[in-house]
Amino acid sequence: MKQIAPHLYVKDNYRGVTVGCIVADAGVICIDSPMLPADARDWRARISRLSPKPVRFVVLTDANRDRILGIQYLGGTVVAHEVTWEKIKSFGDAFRQQAADSLAPCSADAAAEIAADWRITSPQITFTNKLVLFHGDVPVVIQRVGGATPGSVWVHLPKQNVLFMGDLATPNVHPLAAEADLGAWLDLLGQVQDQDFPAKLIIPGRGSPCNKAALEPTADYLRAMRARVQAHVRSRKPKAELAQLVPEFLERYPVANDDRDCIQRRIRAGLEHIYDTLKSKK
């Protein structure tokens, strides 16, 4: 756990997911949750050592499985965009079993616990555009931005110059583009990189805190995906042949052998989504 500003803490690499918390007088505001039950309990224990106050809110930056499996172990009121709420409330027994099955190869204990005990924790507070919570007189601005997913939000602390970007920022990590609006995503990255944007420290959804310059490789990756798929469409190649592009993108960042299949699926899903989006505009 790192303290990155007064009352503000971050823990990265809970199986690749980065989480944060704001320790306020009235209680703790969490940004996202670790995925594995053991990691979520560890994060809650770390928070307890910072403050005896309860977790008041858990803010979700999107509905990705990696962020919602551990919510029930944190407590507090869940806050999310309406699109995220719609997605989460659709999850049921099939989702639980799929999550357990996908975790079984890397953590049999986590898979068994999720299969037996996981329950849907739907957001209790939703919004359409912007919601502001307060730590004392310091605003915590939760803004719907889209881009990475239709329900993506970021959490901005303008007085501390800190921005939690969720999966809009994935430095040195392959971005998740299977639901992306690439144009909006690239616009957002450009907006944050502008010198006048009131944030100096970026907290990504995956990876360590970084500066604005670290966002450019993600933007370059997304532009390359779009350009390669555009060329694929212009050449009238079938969607199935997008698999041939996966190794090109896999080489951009190092990937552990255990994660290789997962990342290849992630890249292919992003390419296929971009393909479908381009074809629908014709």
- Confirm if 79 and 29 have CB atoms less than 8 A apart: no
The dotted CATH code for 2-216 is: 3.60.15.10
- Confirm if 65 and 154 have CB atoms less than 8 A apart: no
At residue 282, the pLDDT reads: 64
Start-end of H helices in 69-213:
82-89, 93-103, 108-117, 182-193
Question: pLDDT (tens digit, 0 to 9) for every residue of the chain, 282 residues total?
Answer: 999 999 999 998 898 899 999 998 889 999 999 999 999 999 999 999 999 999 999 999 999 999 999 999 999 999 999 999 999 999 888 888 888 888 887 788 888 988 888 888 999 999 999 999 987 888 999 999 999 999 999 999 999 999 999 999 999 999 999 999 999 999 999 999 999 999 999 999 999 999 999 999 999 999 999 999 999 999 999 999 999 999 999 999 999 888 898 899 999 999 999 999 998 886
**Sequence-separated (6 or more) residues with CB below 8 Å from residue 199:** 156, 158, 161, 162, 163, 192, 212
- 256, with CB counted inside 10 A (0-12, 13-18, 19+), is exposed
- Confirm if 88 and 120 have CB atoms less than 8 A apart: yes
- Domain assignments of the chain as residue spans, ordered by start: 2-216
Between helices 182-193 and 216-234, what is the axis angle to 10°? 150
- How far, in Å, CA of 222 to CA of 230, rounded? 12
At residue 26, the pLDDT reads: 87
3-state secondary structure of 68: helix
Note the pTM of the prediction, 2 decimals. Answer: 0.94
